[in-house]
Structure 1
Amino acid sequence: MNETKTPHCNEPLPRKGIFRILVCRPNHRLGNTILLTPLITELERHFKGAEIDVISEGDIAEEVFATFFSVRHVFCLPRRGFKHPLPFLRLLHDVRRRGYDLIIDPCLGSGFSRAVTRLLHATYKLGFSDTPQHSGLTHAAPTSIAMQHMAKRPINLLRWALCQEHADELGYPALDIRLTDLELAHGRRVVAELLSVSRQTSSPPVVGVFANATGAKRYPMEWWREFIDTFKTLCPTASILEFIPMHGHSMLGSEWPGYFSSDIRRMGAVMAGMDLMITADCGVMHLAVASRVATVGMFSVTDASVYAPYGHGNSPLPTQGLSAREVACRVVAAHPDLLGRHVPASSVEELQSMRGGDLFLSQAWAP
């Protein structure tokens, strides 16, 4: 898909008169919901003073957008709504009664999202389609303009509809759940308490590890043990804190202090107290990025160009063909400002000898 050129639509959206906006993304996954936050930021930039509603599934979106002043209603369709037809149809009927100036369907190829968009009322409807006459949209963007990355895709969609000049030079808003100062203060306190109990230091670097993911994206416990052993050899002053998955069980054999919360924002607030987060590709990876902590996202089977953490301090790390030891070395090598000053000379020599000396140390992956 085109990453460098964004053709403009023939009849752009008006810059004035759009005050009621609905983002239609009926999906229950944490990552997909967080990947919408840059779109909300972009809408706020173009339509100052507008009120934004969001359609989602489940209740995660309510937590994600809880501190977004521009977001008024988060309509949470029941998960597997067709198994709960009455509340599902009741909520859709309620949303349908509301008139919007603009509805955005940011999905590429989601029949359900498009069906909901067709059902609702709006002056303008924006989405991707290569068959405009059958799309039900007033502004149907060709799929060729869609960015690979899921967070950037709806940004290009909106910029296309506004005939934004030099769109590729503007950069892209960051993932951000907009943690409050109070939430951040609570997070720092929890981190200090956990490190104190485990007799680790709160001096940097404090490194968070989330060792869970779905299916083939999950690395086994033995892999993580080798990774952390290598990491600690190279950076012995680092303190480790494990973030516990929703099932409530450690993925690292409870060898490190752990933090568990079923509340998305509390989890993010504690992550924000880390100097670095290390995680496989999963929703929690996006949560870490949106909590504004430097994040390494490891990709074993999925496409990093679609889901990679981007922005300052964030890095995707493809791990195909690498051992856990090699991955740990690359993490240390790629974060010299954060971790390098804590690595003793003897460990640097070991790192240099592992994979081609100074050449390996200079290797980093594209942000």
Structure 2
Amino acid sequence: MDPKKIFITIKRKAFGLLSGCFTNKIGETVSNNDAIKKILVCRPNHRLGSLLLLQPLVQELESTFPNSKIDLLVNQSCAIQLFQNYDIVNQVIAFPRNPFKSPITYLNTFVRFRSKKYDLAINAAKESCSGKLFTSISKASFKFVGDGEADKKERHIAKQVIHSLRDFLPIMGIKANEGLPPNLDLRLANDELIHGGSFVYDIVQNAQPTICLYTHKSYKKTWWLDFYEHLQKAFPDVNIIEILSKENSSKIGFRAPVLYSNGVRELAAMIANTDVFIGADSGVMHLASSSLTPTIGLFSVTDAEKYKPYNEGSVAVNTNEVELDALMAVVKNSLYPNLDTSA
């Protein structure tokens, strides 16, 4: 067996045994929300989707503690770019993905992390054992490790921590927010949107609606080709473009015009200038959602209730249960939300 896999298995089992030792910490009750000045959000992960799904939590903290500053504890990634327009984010504490390859960097980052004091530390994902660990060993007056009953309250991973935190805050003496959790939002600037729009217009050269596909993740090439043919037949006057992965692969054989950028914000700005994004559950799907583009997330293996896009106009489709003809109706509703289809 691969030594790396053996190590990962042992690490997960060890964290699993330790996770029961990590509990919420309640400090001295505060008098008002302004008493919370420094917040730590722990999500030691590098994946694009995992980091984007922190945005609703950061917005929740922004509205609850408007005079605070947030540090994000993550693994080395594009987190700085994802939160560059969030003024409340003070700094990103980024650990190396593999501590054995960069032990000195890891140790220096750990020392920097341990040197800081916080009023509140939050584990952003209930199932993250490493998130629980970092939250527990942080120097914070209040520590929210998680809620064992969270799954009963909310399934979606981004909303779950918000609902659980709202139950925790009154124990601190804090009035929690009410209403729906915030959406994903990359907070693209106007100049970014104009720049992204220029790429899209250079391809389509018209004012017709545009569908954006991302075919890299999941599904066989035959499925995507069949899906693409259905799209062409159902929407002959609509532009269809494809966002390429960094591997420069297309499961529709480059039949549609393509766009690519290795800049995560530039890529999001391109998607923001289309009318509907369609792609399998992936980081790019959540990037599309965070660009505020109506997103159709395709699910066949992963849990749609846990990872679905939930911004306005977005929907999750279980392709094990929905035929392509029915999927075209979903696309039509997303493209033309104000169209009366009842007749």
What's 1:91 paired with? 109
**What is the identity, as a one-letter code, of the residue corresponding to 1:148?**
R
Larger mean CA deviation between 13-22 and 147-156 belongs to: 13-22
Larger mean CA deviation between 104-113 and 280-289 belongs to: 104-113
SS in 1 for 2:131: helix
Asked whether 1:74 is paired with 2:92, we answer: yes
Write out the 4+ residue segments of structure 1 that deviate beyond 6 Å after TM superposition. 9-13, 164-167
**Cα displacement string for residues 61-102 of structure 1 (whole angstroms, at most 9, x for unaligned residues):** 111111111111011111122432211111011111111111
What's 1:171 paired with? 180
Deviation at 1:126, TM superposition (A): 1.1
Contact residue 300 and residue 319 of structure 2 kept, 8 A: yes
**Cα displacement string for residues 211-242 of structure 1 (whole angstroms, at most 9, x for unaligned residues):** 111xxxx1122211211211121111110110
Deviation at 1:259, TM superposition (A): 0.9
The number of aligned residues is 313
What's 1:330 paired with? 329
Asked whether 1:207 is paired with 2:211, we answer: yes
Contact residue 98 and residue 121 of structure 1 kept, 8 A: yes
Residue 159 of structure 2 is aligned with which of 144, 148, 152? 152
**What is the identity, as a one-letter code, of the residue corresponding to 1:195?**
V
Contact residue 102 and residue 125 of structure 1 kept, 8 A: yes
Contact residue 205 and residue 338 of structure 1 kept, 8 A: no
Q: Distance in 2 between matches of 1:287 and 1:23?
A: 20
What's 2:52 paired with? 34
Residue correspondence of structure 1 range 224-243 to structure 2 within 5 A: 224-243=224-243
Q: TM-score by structure 2 length?
A: 0.84
Pick closer, same or farther for the CA change 1:234–1:60 going to 2, 3 Å: same
Asked whether 1:265 is paired with 2:265, we answer: yes
Q: TM-score by structure 1 length?
A: 0.79
What's 1:43 paired with? 61
Deviation at 1:288, TM superposition (A): 0.3
Deviation at 1:112, TM superposition (A): 1.3
What's 1:283 paired with? 283
Contact residue 277 and residue 296 of structure 1 kept, 8 A: yes
What's 1:188 paired with? 197
Task: Among all aligned residue pairs of Structure 1 and Structure 2, give the percentage whose two residues are the same amino acid.
Answer: 33
SS in 2 for 1:22: strand
SS in 1 for 2:181: coil
**What is the identity, as a one-letter code, of the residue corresponding to 1:192?**
Y
**What is the identity, as a one-letter code, of the residue corresponding to 1:179?**
L
**Cα displacement string for residues 160-209 of structure 1 (whole angstroms, at most 9, x for unaligned residues):** 12238896x6011000111111100101111001223xxxx3x2310100
Q: Distance in 1 between matches of 2:152 and 2:301?
A: 25
Deviation at 1:300, TM superposition (A): 0.9
